[in-house]
Every structure is written in C-alpha cells, then in structure tokens.
C-alpha cells in the first residue's frame, strides 16, 4: 500500500532551498535590486555584513513611528509599549539559541560581548580581595600561573580581549594550532587544555577558512579541566541551527549585522549562575537597585550588564531578523549555503594559480571561500570583481596570525547567504577566471 505523506511528515523534512525559492527571497531585499558599475549586483560579502529584508527594515521603522520611548523608565503608554517590544525581542532571541530569557544580554556587537566577559573576569579577583561577591566569584578569578586557551584561527575580537586579560591578571595565553588544511590540531588541543586552563575561547566557524570546529570535543576537554568555555558564534548563528544549551558552552556571542539585522546590536549569552556573580562591565543607570554616595548595589542579569539607554529599535529589528531566519528554516539555509560553498570551492580549485584556504572541496565548511590569486594582490582582485558588480571582502579579515601561519598577508573572500543563487556563484567564478590574465600574472 502506498505511503501518503502527512502534513506533520512534510514539516519534519522541509524541502531544500533552490534557485527558484531563493529568487523569491531576494525580492525581500531591496538593496540587491540594483546595478553596480552597470551590472546586476552580486553580493558575496555577507560574512562581513548581511543585507536586511523589508520585514526587518519595517520593524525598526514601525517602532520609531508607533512606540518610540525609553524602556524601563516610564509609566506612560508609549514607555510601556516600548518596554514590551524590547523585552519580547529578548525572548525571541533567547528562544532562537535555546536559552533562558535572563541569560540573554544585549550588546553593541559580538566584540563588545567578548570584551565584557574578559573584563569582568579580570575584575573578579579585585572584587574578591575587597570582600565583594562570594566563593563562586572567587573561583572565577584568574591569577599568575593560570592559562587562557584560544586557537590559531581566531578573529582579532576573540584574541585581543584574551591577550589583555592575560596582561591584567598575569595569566598565560596559549593557542591550539591548525594544520595546513585549516583544521584544529586536536591532538595538541588535548595536550594544551589541562589543569591550569581557566578559559577556553574559540570560534564555532572560521570567518576565513570556513572550517566548522568540533565544539563538543573542545567542550569535553574544557569540562575535564574545569575551564570556562566561550564560543564565538558570529559565523554560525546566522547560518545554521544553534542550541548553545545543548552545546554546553558557558558564554556565546554573535552580532545582528551578520544575520539580517541592523548594525549596533549584538547578543551575549551566559549561564545564569555565572552572570549573577560576575561584576558589571559598564555602570550607570538602569542596572542598579540602590545607590548611595558611597556605593551601589546591582541588579541580576540581564539588566546587570545593560547600563544606560539600550539599543531598543535595533533589538526589535533583530527579533524580526530572527523570525525571518526561523520561518525560512536554519537547517534549509545551512544546506543551501553548503551547496553554494562547495560550488565556490570546487570552481576555484579548478582555476590555475588559485589557492583556496580551508577544507578542500567535498569537506564540510560554511558557505564562504577565502583564496589567494598567484601574482595578484587581494585588493586588486577585489577591485577587478567590483568592476563587474561583484562585492567581496579583501584583506586579512581581522585574522592576521592566521594569515601569517599560512604564509599570506591578505586574501579575497566570497561569502554566501540565503539570498545568493548558483548564478551568483557562477558569475563570481567566471570573473575570477579572468583576473590573472587581466593583470598579466
């Protein structure tokens, strides 16, 4: 007897995105409907900043038109509506990454979130020495002899804050190296992460290599050492399903502008028991309970880390972006981008004089490819592509140590998103095929 698919079955296995649906999705992004240097725009720089759908633009505009007011500070109608919209947005984002409402902190971007963690950890020892906080805070304090571990593929935002934390506390910074294929040396990770490790910070997916790191293996090593785990999810949260509770990380950060939202809004996740004992990062209004001329008492998270007027309209717009991604389907987006990434990498690898960084064609990666063109500087490659209406990123992508490890100073990076088609990738590959001839390399 034939098996008839039920609606529930169809919901469990949504169809993979295809070019026809992506073309419909593109209609939601007005900026993509333009000519650049006389040619239709091919936007392949979403790894730096994504574009915004109309629903996100309209959500922020509607907030300003209908309910613009300070949140948590007024009893009038607009203030109440603004506060509800602001906190509803927090709940939407918390649900998106599988965490509790009070574990979701608004920041300006992921960089601020990482600095928040590193700064509060550096002041933990000072607070404890002055009798502020409890035994749980004392356990978080870093001292000379302690170690902070990162990886060789980190974005500067997940490297420099830890360098500064080591400087402020006397701890030692160590890193897990990569192999020539752009994967972490997990054998060395097991030797590096040990009893002295207090913090392990690493990227979920590399913004240069496209490598997706083995989060569970790294977390297991950190747990065995009793170390905190900090996850940079900037290149994963926009592109694949993410449940940070399930991954069991202690902190995670990501930025709105890489996931269809405006600039100026980011998210820090932290386990509740950690957030409630850490000292505040910024201080001022809205994050206190009692203030005298001598001292202040602070609210628990999330308000504990949200001093001053917040990014209200941006938070509302981020929630709209999250809804857009959720309705489209993160699993579908991830599979489509994997297909585009494979198309990019295999196409680039077929061209003479092109070196692609990261996993080879056929290996798992996110939908981006950074590459070097023999004899042509990355900036020249980027300008050549721009003349043909193709937007890519050039430079070291805020990852100088990684480029140095690979013997390069700069690369060209193409990064796809849910609004890119296979035709976009093919136009990009066709243009790259003409770079060396154009420059006489």
Q: Is the pLDDT of residue 5 over 50?
A: no
State the number of CA atoms in the 13 A half-sphere of 335 facing the CB: 11
Q: How many CA atoms lie within 13 A of 147 on its CB side?
A: 16
pLDDT at res. 4: 37
Mind giving me the DSSP string for 185-249? -HHHHHHHSSTTEEEEEEESB-TTT--B--HHHHHHHHHHHT-EEEEE-TTTTTTS---HHHHT-
- Measured in degrees and rounded to the nearest 5, phi and psi for residue 389 equal 80, 15
CATH top-level class for 13-43+329-438? alpha beta
CB atoms within 10 A of CB 122: 20
Q: Which H or E run includes 254?
A: strand 251-255
Is 234 tagged catalytic?
A: no
pLDDT in tens, 360-383: 888 899 999 999 999 999 999 999
Dump pLDDT digits (tens) for 237-278.
Answer: 999 999 999 999 999 999 999 999 999 999 999 999 999 999
Note if the pTM is more than 0.75: yes
Please, which pLDDT band fits residue 22 given cuts at 50, 70 and 90?
very high
| pLDDT above 90 coverage of the chain, percent | 91
Residues 6 or more apart whose CB falls under 8 angstroms from that of 365 comprise 209, 210, 211, 212, 338, 341, 345, 358, 359
Domain boundaries, the chain: 13-43+329-438, 62-326
Chain-centroid distance of CA 407 in Å reads 26
Q: What percent of the chain has pLDDT over 70?
A: 97
Using CA of residue 166, residue 167, residue 170, residue 173, what is the dihedral sign? positive
**Does the pLDDT at position 6 exceed 80?**
no
What pLDDT, in 10s, does the model give residues 175-186?
999 999 999 999
| pLDDT score of 13 | 58
Judge whether residue 188 has pLDDT over 90.
yes
Mean pLDDT of the chain: 94
CA dihedral 30, 68, 252, 114 (to 10 degrees): 100
Per-residue pLDDT tens digits for 286-308: 899 999 999 999 999 999 999 99
Average pLDDT for 62-69: 95
Asked whether residue 7 carries a pLDDT value surpassing 50, the answer given is no
Report the C-alpha gap between 381 and 324 in whole angstroms.
33
Read off the DSSP letter of residue 49. -
pLDDT score for 10: 41
204 alpha-carbon distance from chain centroid: 8
Decide which of 1.10.260.40, 3.40.1800.10, 3.40.640.10, 1.25.40.10 is the CATH code for 62-326. Answer: 3.40.640.10
Q: Which helix (H) or strand (E) segment is 105 a member of?
A: strand 104-107
pLDDT in the model for residue 74: 78
| Helix, strand, coil % in the chain, rounded to nearest 5 | 45, 15, 40
Q: Which of 398, 401, 408, 433 is catalytic?
A: 398
pLDDT digits (tens, 9 = 90+) for 338-359: 999 999 999 999 999 999 999 9
């Amino acid at each position: 007897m034939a098996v008839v698919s039920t609606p529930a079955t169809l919901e469990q296995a949504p169809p993979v995105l295809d070019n026809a649906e992506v073309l419909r999705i593109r209609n939601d992004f007005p900026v993509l409907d333009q000519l650049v240097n006389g040619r239709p725009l091919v936007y392949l720089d979403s790894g730096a900043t994504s574009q915004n759908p109309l629903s996100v633009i309209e959500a922020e505009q509607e907030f300003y038109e209908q309910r613009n007011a300070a949140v948590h500070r007024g009893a009038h109608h607009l203030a109440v509506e603004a506060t509800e919209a602001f906190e509803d947005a927090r709940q939407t984002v918390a649900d998106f990454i599988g965490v509790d409402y009070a574990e979701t902190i608004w920041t300006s971007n992921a960089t601020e979130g990482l600095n928040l963690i590193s700064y509060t950890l550096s002041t933990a020892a000072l607070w404890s020495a002055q009798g502020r906080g409890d035994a749980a805070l004392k356990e978080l304090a870093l001292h000379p002899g302690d170690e902070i571990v990162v990886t060789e593929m980190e974005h500067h935002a997940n490297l420099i804050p830890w360098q500064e934390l080591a400087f402020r506390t006397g701890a030692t910074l160590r890193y897990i190296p990569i192999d020539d294929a752009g994967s972490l040396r997990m054998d060395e990770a097991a030797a590096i992460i040990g009893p002295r490790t207090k913090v392990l910070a690493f990227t979920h997916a590399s913004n240069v290599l496209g490598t997706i790191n083995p989060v569970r293996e790294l977390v297991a090593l950190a747990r065995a050492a009793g170390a905190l785990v900090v996850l940079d999810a900037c290149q994963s949260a926009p592109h694949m399903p993410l449940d940070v509770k399930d991954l069991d990380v202690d902190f995670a950060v990501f930025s709105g502008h890489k996931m269809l939202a405006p600039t100026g809004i980011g998210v820090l996740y932290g386990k509740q028991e950690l957030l409630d004992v850490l000292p505040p990062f910024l201080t001022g209004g809205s994050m206190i309970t009692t203030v005298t001329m001598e001292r202040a008492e602070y609210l628990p998270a999330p308000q504990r880390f949200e001093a001053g007027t917040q990014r209200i309209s941006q938070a509302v717009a981020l929630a709209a972006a999250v809804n857009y991604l959720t309705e489209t389907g993160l699993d579908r987006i991830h599979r489509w981008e994997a297909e585009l990434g494979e198309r990019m990498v295999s196409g680039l690898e077929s061209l003479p004089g092109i070196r692609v960084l990261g996993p080879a064609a056929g290996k798992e990666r996110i939908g981006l490819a950074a590459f070097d063109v023999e004899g042509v500087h990355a900036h020249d490659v980027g300008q050549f592509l721009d003349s043909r209406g193709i937007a890519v990123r050039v430079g070291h992508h805020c990852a100088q140590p990684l480029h140095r490890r690979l013997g390069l100073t700069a690369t060209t990076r193409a990064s796809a998103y849910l609004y890119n088609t296979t035709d976009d990738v093919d136009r990009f590959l066709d243009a790259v095929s003409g770079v060396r001839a154009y420059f006489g390399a």
